[in-house]
Amino acid sequence: MRWDIHGSVMESSGREWGMPSSVIILAVPATPNVAKGAGIRNQGSEIDSPLRHLTPPRWAAQVLREPIALLNDHAHLEKKAATNALELINRHPRTASVADRPAGSASENWVAVMTSVARDEIEHLATVSRLLVRRGGRMTARHRNPYASALRGLVRRGTGPAELIDRLLVSALIELRSCERFDVLAAHGDDRELARLYRRLAVSERGHYQVFVNLAHDLQSGDEVDERWATMLDEESRILEAQPPVPAMHGGVE
């Protein structure tokens, strides 16, 4: 069974890209205050993005000058995203307040949600790595993502529920920025094969972003999550603008 966080089964065919026949798209209704955010519409996106800083179209040409390096970076990101989802299984919330939540809530389906996200990311890894090899490249043994490392530095470690909320929101930010970058590549890149691939993968990344945000809201009510999310969005913009212009999904713009 393939679940979204409300217990619904959602499947999508991925055969065109050599994916398994059913690729999970964990799309859920967006929380109004979060998914709409500042109401900034992204290039090529079907939703309003809360990101404070949008990627200019010229970034696509910049990174596509080195497609092998970009695909290698992307493959490593999918591997790390799968690892992150599996690691979050160990952080299953077990507080009394969560136990009292209604059937079908995100917290009740925690393990199903995280395994579904991990499966999605592994399928993406397989797809991207096959394309990388077909184009004459190989995944490198080592990989650094200073953008993601800086975001994880925002997590309030050792704070119990607050740490878990932060980890979910950081995961949401990475998925959201990746989705935004996929949209730019799909809309403005001159590599048609990659444009088709990223147009398809953006749908899944957008669903993952919404899943993580809704998980955070399911675990903690009130305005605290919205306030923390707003702070992280501000920090994400600052962190991204500080990145060097390398051929990477989360690199800076020339």
Q: What is the pLDDT of residues 175-216, one digit of tens each?
A: 999 999 999 999 999 999 999 999 999 998 999 999 999 999
**Would the CA dihedral through 12, 18, 20, 21 be positive or negative?**
positive
Tell me 44's DSSP state: T
The pLDDT assigned to 34 comes to 36
| pLDDT < 70: residue spans in the chain | 1-47, 93-108
On whether the CB atoms of residues 139 and 228 are closer than 8 A, the answer is no
Contacts by 217-224, CB closer than 8 A, 24 or more apart: 217/31, 217/34, 218/5, 218/101, 218/105, 218/106, 218/107, 219/93, 219/98, 219/106, 219/107, 219/161, 219/164, 219/165, 219/168, 220/161, 220/165, 224/165
Contacts by 32-39, CB closer than 8 A, 24 or more apart: 33/226, 34/213, 34/217, 34/225, 34/226, 34/229, 35/210, 35/213, 37/233
Q: Maximum CA pair distance of the chain?
A: 53
pTM of the entire predicted model:
0.81
The pLDDT assigned to 102 comes to 56
pLDDT digits (tens, 9 = 90+) for 222-250: 789 999 999 999 999 999 999 999 999 99
Tell me 12's DSSP state: E
Instruction: From 107, 61, 62, select the one nearest 88 (Cα to Cα).
Output: 107
The pLDDT assigned to 220 comes to 84
Please report where in the chains the tokens 């966080």 appear, as a residue: 5
Question: Looking at domain 60-241, which CATH architecture does it have?
Answer: Up-down Bundle (1.20)
